[in-house]
Structure 1
Amino acid sequence: MQIIFTVVKLLLISAIVIGGFVEIANGNTENFENGFDGTNPSVSAWAVAIYNGMWSYEGWNQLNFVSQELVDPERNFPLVIIGGIPLVTLLYLLVNVSYFTVMSPSELLQSPAVATTFGAKVFGSFSWIVPVGVACSTLGSSNGNAFTSARLAYAAGGKGHFPRFLGYLSNERLTPLMAVIFNAVIGIVMVLPKSSNIKNLLDYFSFATWTLYALTFISIIIFRFRKPYCDVERKFKIWLPFPILAAAISLYLIIAPLIEEPSLAYLLATCIIFGGLLFYIPFVYLDWNLPFGIYNKIEIFCQKYFEVVPVSAQELKTE
């Protein structure tokens, strides 16, 4: 099913790009002549603009979460990264160029659904393919993220950084069912408040995400010197200037929005991230247990009603 969604998305993108080039061939290029009019030259404003755009590319890091399930990661991981990210970037840029062939910047900003507006102007009676393609793209993105992000909670549960039952697998389908449910609950909680809208969610998500990215890149640099490559087995080695540059960019994307548009959203995101220490220190670092055997009861409940088991105790079904 994921392959079908991906193919439909690529076909829609190709149709939009071809439609845009047809418009350019017909001389519809007036929106490119003053395309940067009104642009804010502030360096700190660029970070806010990047926040509003980078979430579209957020899938670039998802492969890291499923590296254990990747065949021959030493070979395939770099190939997927080197081939996938430039291809997606090129396609998205071409799609935006196509949008500007039929919409001015103000029209694009005011449109409730840019792709649908483009389809109505270019495809005519066949404009219905755009919402259908967007729906398939959304379902594919949700399905892919459910698959990859669940592996993060699953791995953390297996390592003891999250509750152990998050590291359990379904005895029927061999999937991290509890981790999927955990992520679904977080998603529901995020969209329930009345103040929840796309801008607030992007502010929370982008700031928190780039904070975690910065910590990750910095940790790579630290481990390179504290635990050299020869002392620790790694699937592949990263050229050191890459994490240094990535850490610098991440710090810029964290600090610049605080200067340009100070918001309580950034403070709340910081509190949520470091608030995790309130659980990590006592229950992971100090290895405390909940009173009255509450934790064991939760584990038994999950195993009984969701039919999940620890990986080490799992018996694979045979036909």
Structure 2
Amino acid sequence: MEETPTKTVENNEKEKVDGEVVCLRRKIGLLPAVSFIIGTVVGSGIFIAPKGVLINSGSVGLSLLVWVLCGVLSLFGALCYAELGTAFTKSGAHYTYLLETLGPLPAFLRLWAEFLFIRPAAASYMSLAFGRYVVEAFFTPCVAPTVLVKLVSILAVTFVVAVNCWSVNMASRTQVTLTFIKMIALVLIIIPGVIALAKGKTENFQNGFEVDLLTLDRLPLAFYNGLYAYGGWFNLNFITEEVINPNRNMPLAIIFSMVTVTVFYVLVNVAYYTVMTPAEVLLSDAVAVTFASRALQGLAPVIPVLVAISCLGSLNGGFFGAPRMLFVGAREGHWPAIFSMIHIRRHTPLPAVLLLYPLVVLMLITGEIYQILNFSSFARWFFIALAAVGLLVHRYRFPLHPRPFKVPLVIPITFTVVCFFIVGLSLYSDPWNTGKSCAITLTGVPVYYVTVYRFRLPHRWRRIFNYCTKQLQILLEVAQQEVQTY
């Protein structure tokens, strides 16, 4: 992309406020880091995905096994990212690791896919789930108006964007609070399920591993549903530069968070199948609400509210983390320079956060959320697997590179093989959505060579480009980040 414009006198005066350097601050301690991961992972997935896992796995026992394996696979991936995050202490997660290990083109393609459809799809789905649960609480048993659901969803996105533009501390405190509330929701589901199980209600688990309905081509879709519910384990790596003592806190936060989430998810699914039959799970579009109507009759109205809060927490975590990838990409010259700038007083990557907002709102209005989520899974997991390959390549090429946290070699190898197996099998099970995902991602190749690799604006256009960037700096009150060494 175009070179960073020369700073004006006004911009130089804005570089420091109250004698402080304009940069991202290390304000995320261990508790906010744990809350950030759990709060992002635990969203609408655990309340909706069990139906998709059961449909594609074919039995109760196998679906529970899929949930366990998805948790283990996510933990393996999180451990790989913990090593990468302590070896490369820049924010940006997938983008940074691909850039440092495999080069600029894979990194740019990950950035391109993330902001073209992966992140807007995930945020749109989460905000629509929030809107649906909030609105339906007032319209039950009637169908909630779609326009009202979308309006409430847009308001939720607007609120989250405002919080993340305003203050890093406010966003992290909001995440801690919402995480605490959503864990209460999971406990309210687990307790009655465990009580019913202790009383001997086990008929739904008998013959739990009947695999007559299982076909190999549907198994990747079962994993995609489960892995979507675990999605977000990598979000702490988006904000490495803002984590206090990352060499210690990142591995601790990742391990504790993923073990906790896996245990809770398996227990929640056991509770579902203790109270509900597989047929009832398949008939429900909101499994948690159906469960509450059967097992928590007195608290049934509370569950939709708690689910909505859970969705809001995941939405907040996504908007907190993902813009940091764009911020780092712009800082490396793969995106316009304005998106690598920080608000001079609030120390938030304001332009990067604001760019994501219209993309999510546009996707909300179109309403093509579920199809987009299906084909976005291929690109997401392909690049995650590629980052694990990068870890192995970098270990081989630079064995003496400092790695404060190093996982056993079997973990990245297993994670890489399983991810590529799932991604490759999806080419057979869902070729249409997978093909679209590949095609859209590959559109980034000519964009990279035209705008990054060989980009040279004529002098006249360069002046116009720099002028527009400076005006946006003044309007948004942002400045270039002070370069720091970690």
Q: Please list every run of at least 4 consecutive aligned residues from structure 1 whose deviation after the TM superposition is greater than 6 angstroms.
A: none
- 1:93 and 2:266 are equivalent in the alignment: yes
The answer on whether the counterparts of 1:45 and 1:256 sit within 8 Å (CA) in structure 2 is no
The separation in 1 between residues aligned to 2:404 and 2:452, in whole angstroms, is 27
- 1:276 and 2:444 are equivalent in the alignment: yes
SS at the partner of 2:450? Answer: helix
Give the superposition deviation at 1:140.
0.7
Q: Give the corresponding residue for 1:307.
A: 477
The separation in 2 between residues aligned to 1:308 and 1:38, in whole angstroms, is 58
Q: Any unmatched runs of 5+ in structure 1?
A: 314-319
SS at the partner of 2:208? Answer: coil
> TM-score, normalised to structure 2's length?
0.60
The separation in 2 between residues aligned to 1:58 and 1:206, in whole angstroms, is 10
1:64-83 superposed matches below 5 A: 64-83=237-256
The separation in 2 between residues aligned to 1:223 and 1:281, in whole angstroms, is 25
The separation in 1 between residues aligned to 2:191 and 2:445, in whole angstroms, is 51
The separation in 2 between residues aligned to 1:42 and 1:288, in whole angstroms, is 52
Q: Which amino acid aligns with 2:232?
A: G
Give the superposition deviation at 1:241.
2.8
Q: Give the corresponding residue for 2:393.
A: 222
**Deviation per residue, 1:205-235 (Å, 9 max, x gap):** 2111011112211122222222x142x4455
Q: Give the corresponding residue for 2:337.
A: 164
- 1:134 to 1:246, Cα distance in 2 relative to 1, 3 A: same
The size of the alignment, in residue pairs, is 308
**Deviation per residue, 1:102-124 (Å, 9 max, x gap):** 21112112112111111111111
> TM-score, normalised to structure 1's length?
0.89
Q: Which amino acid aligns with 2:405?
A: F
The separation in 1 between residues aligned to 2:240 and 2:222, in whole angstroms, is 31
- 1:267 to 1:288, Cα distance in 2 relative to 1, 3 A: farther
The answer on whether the counterparts of 1:47 and 1:253 sit within 8 Å (CA) in structure 2 is yes
- 1:59 and 2:59 are equivalent in the alignment: no
The separation in 2 between residues aligned to 1:238 and 1:179, in whole angstroms, is 32
The answer on whether the counterparts of 2:217 and 2:429 sit within 8 Å (CA) in structure 1 is yes
Q: Which amino acid aligns with 2:480?
A: P
Q: Give the corresponding residue for 2:375.
A: 204
Q: Bigger relative contact order, structure 1 or 2, given CA contacts below 8 A and separation 6+?
A: 2
**Deviation per residue, 1:148-173 (Å, 9 max, x gap):** 11111111111112221111111231
Give the superposition deviation at 1:34.
3.6
- 1:260 and 2:429 are equivalent in the alignment: yes
After superposition, the CA RMSD in angstroms is 2.1
Q: Give the corresponding residue for 1:317.
A: none
Q: Identity of counterpart residues, as a percentage?
A: 33
Deviates more, 1:29-38 or 1:243-252: 29-38
SS at the partner of 2:190? Answer: helix
Give the superposition deviation at 1:40.
4.2
SS at the partner of 1:169? Answer: strand
Q: Any unmatched runs of 5+ in structure 2?
A: 1-173
Deviates more, 1:205-214 or 1:183-192: 183-192
The separation in 2 between residues aligned to 1:120 and 1:110, in whole angstroms, is 14
1:24-63 superposed matches below 5 A: 24-37=197-210, 40-63=213-236
SS at the partner of 1:309? Answer: strand
- 1:101 to 1:278, Cα distance in 2 relative to 1, 3 A: same
Q: Which amino acid aligns with 2:410?
A: P
Q: Give the corresponding residue for 2:308.
A: 135
The answer on whether the counterparts of 2:235 and 2:318 sit within 8 Å (CA) in structure 1 is yes
